[in-house]
Structure 1
Amino acid sequence: MESVTSLLPRLLDPALLETYGARMLGGFWITLKLVALSFALGWLLGWLLVLGRLSRHRLVRGLSRGYVYFFRGSPLLAQLFLLYYGMSAFRGFWQAIDLWWFFRDPWWCALLAFSLNTAAYQAEIFRGSLLAIPAGQKEACRALGLGPAQSFLRVILPQSMRIAIGPLGNEMILLVKASAIASLVTVYDVMGVTKLAYSRTFDFEIYLWAAALYLLIVEVLRRTLRIMEGRLSRHLGR
């Protein structure tokens, strides 16, 4: 039975590392950028959807609910293909309004698809965290003479974010793993570079590198979230 020492050179082939190591690091950066930007844009859009879901206007509530229903109920892969391949059917229209540069680029289409998708999930997380705040908190704000904006920013929002931090972390981790499908529209992220390298070398080692890079991202996120949760909840331990 081969020892771990004898297997190590096979898992760290110097020739393979020299050829594709830099490309893998480039793909690692693309993955980080794609996840970070789409999550941030989804965060902003998610709050707009929450306001729509909690609006008193029936039409606004209906549109927000329909958005969340569609993007949570359909596969992310189908959404990505609809944006990248489907929008190309309207090439003449996009050229007329000078937006063809956006929809012909797989990077921008992937960023848009991931942002729209995660916004729906984040909206439900935010809505649930807001509804979890006891009604007594709002009554106390009114008793103290705080206006709606002050009550929300100083009392309701901080408490709701403490509740939402765990589910938001899970959503970000899921987004990291889901980002691998961007390679299907020729985005050269970690998985895109991995597929390219394997098609030329047929060496399974490159997939082990990809798995290690994804694990690294997830582990850093997990530890960061643990620290954030500890700081936001430190008063509860007293």
Structure 2
Amino acid sequence: MDWDIISESVPAIFSALPTTLGLVGSSLLIGFILAVLVALGALQKAWFINRPANLFVYIFRSSPLLIQIFLIYYGSGQFRQELTAVGLWHLFREPWFCAVLALSLNTAAYTAEIIRGGIKSVPLDLLEAGAAIGMKKSQIFRRITFPLAIRQSLPAYGNEVILMVKSSSLASTITIMDVTGVYKEIASEYFSPLEPLLIAGSIYLLINFIATQIIAYFERRLAI
């Protein structure tokens, strides 16, 4: 164990923490909004709505996240002219945008299934009670279905948050200098991967510990 490498690695790797948190936070926010739309689409009876939603979930749950990142980052270059024509190439040429897009789509697919399961778990008698007192369908969904679905889904969604923290490390494969990206740079510079690897791993453990505590807090609050 080389303590000189550790002393130099700690501030360098910690300086990449905002990048990792930005990736995770942006992806979870965008992914959650998209997941709600996909989950609602999958629950619709119309085939032209539920089939695309289910296909989206199937594609992004059944293929590796790393492949999805590569397809978006490297594959978009094959459509440069088309993307330039619609004014989107300046986004797809940026590694950050491609990483957030891939992570958002991936977590949206998993979260959509979590939310869909939560919605289907809401007792039917509660919905009937809401209708009996004159609530409209939109009111029933807003005041009964969705809050109870989120409450039921929170433990499973907590697991998805933890998985996203770990999955964000794949963004380093497309030149993003997050915690993992900086670790790789330090390891190649000193030809000693152990010390920076331990520091990077400790940071991910710390992030997930804090995330777990936050989720547990909300679980307790919603159980009251």
How high is the TM-score relative to the length of structure 1? 0.90
Q: Deviations over 1:136-191 (max 9, x none)?
A: 01100011111111111111111111101101110010011111111111111100
The runs of 5 or more residues in structure 1 that have no matched partner are 1-9
Amino acid at match of 2:57: V
| C-alpha distance in 2 between matches for 1:142 and 1:42 | 31
What is the 5 A alignment of 1:7-86? 10=1, 13-14=3-4, 16-18=6-8, 20-86=9-75
Amino acid in the other structure paired with 1:72 = R
Aligned to 1:208: 198
- After TM superposition, the structure 1 = structure 2 runs for residues 77-226 of structure 1, keeping only pairs within 5 Å, are 77-203=66-192, 204-226=194-216
SS in 2 for 1:229: helix
> RMSD of the alignment, in Å?
1.3
In structure 2, how many angstroms separate the alpha carbons of the residues matched to 1:43 and 1:29? 21
Structure 1 pair 120–52 and aligned structure 2 pair: CA distance change class (3 A): same
1:90 alignment partner AA: F
Shift of residue 51, structure 1, vs aligned partner = 1.6
| Cα distance between partner residues in 1 of 2:42 and 2:26 | 24
Q: TM-score, normalised by structure 2?
A: 0.95
Q: CA deviation at 1:72?
A: 0.5
Name the CA distance, whole Å, in 2 between partners of 1:171 and 1:125. 9
- More displaced stretch, 26-35 vs 128-137: 26-35
Q: Which runs of 5 or more residues in structure 2 are unaligned?
A: none
Higher Cα Rg: structure 1 or 2?
A: 1
Whichever residue aligns with residue 207 of structure 2, its letter is I
* Structure 2 residue 204 is the aligned partner of structure 1 residue 228: no
Which gives a bigger RCO, structure 1 or 2 (Cα 8 Å, sep 6+)?
2
Using the alignment, how far apart are the partners of 2:93 and 2:7 within structure 1?
Answer: 32
Using the TM superposition, give the Cα deviation of residue 97 of structure 1 relative to its aligned residue in structure 2, in angstroms.
Answer: 2.3
Deviates more, 1:99-108 or 1:80-89: 99-108
CA distance in 1, matches of 2:80, 2:5: 43
For the 8 Å contact 2:28–2:104, the answer to whether it is kept is: yes
Amino acid at match of 2:109: A
Amino acid at match of 1:59: F
